Amino acid sequence: MPRKARQKSHTGIYHIIYRGANRQEIFHDDEDRLQFLQTLEKYSTLYKVKIYAWCLMSNHVHLLMKEGNEGTVEEWEWSSCKQYYQLTSVTRLVDYDVILNMFGKDRSPAIERFKEFNEIVNDDRCLEDVESYRRRLTDDEARFFIEKIIGKIEIAQVKSLPKERRDPILRKAKCIEGVSQRQIARILGVSQTLIYRA
């Protein structure tokens, strides 16, 4: 069962659980625990994060904390964000072309649009919503293009088609410029998961 998307806290307070990989121990002794708490204290002070409660277990940590004043992201050396913003990094690990091309073919304006998208306060929108920065079609416009794809089939009939007939229609609909998968799901009366898997 897919995990429910995280919601942005209106209070800025979060219960954070940090686990060891495969539930392995992350603290072997009191020295490890003390080192963790000192690191937590250092960065909570630096970024004005409020810690309300903590509990260190052998293989996981519970933190109750309120977000603080994190620095502008492009200054953080150990993140791919710097590579997107300045096209420079300590590594060439990231292939940023795919993401930046979603914001335009001309590099400089694409980077500016990416920065705006990346830093906007939102409800944790995902990559599929990036087309909102391009011209998004209205539902009526999207319906017009979907009807062209399905031909003589009624829109209400698409969800009842066998998978081998339905999936090619969904794949073509996903290629319509300016239409989100959410819109397609709404118009055709099918789940987004069905469209994603087509």
Give the domain extent around 18.
13-66
CATH number at residue 46: 3.30.70.1290
Q: What is the pLDDT of residue 78?
A: 72
Regarding whether 24 and 41 lie in a shared domain, the answer is: yes
Number of domains in the chain: 3
Whether 21 is in a domain gets the answer yes
Question: Quick one: angle between helices 163-174 and 139-150, nearest 10?
Answer: 130
Where among 118, 133, 148 does a domain terminate?
133
Regarding whether 81 and 60 lie in a shared domain, the answer is: no
Regarding whether 18 and 50 lie in a shared domain, the answer is: yes
How confident is the chain (198 residues) per 10-residue block, as mean pLDDT? 56 85 86 93 89 91 84 68 77 81 87 82 51 69 91 91 93 89 90 86
Regarding whether 20 and 52 lie in a shared domain, the answer is: yes
pTM over 0.75: no
Q: What is the pLDDT of residue 131?
A: 46
Whether 17 is in a domain gets the answer yes
Q: What is the pLDDT of residue 134?
A: 56
Beta strand segments in 3-151, E: 13-19, 50-56, 60-66
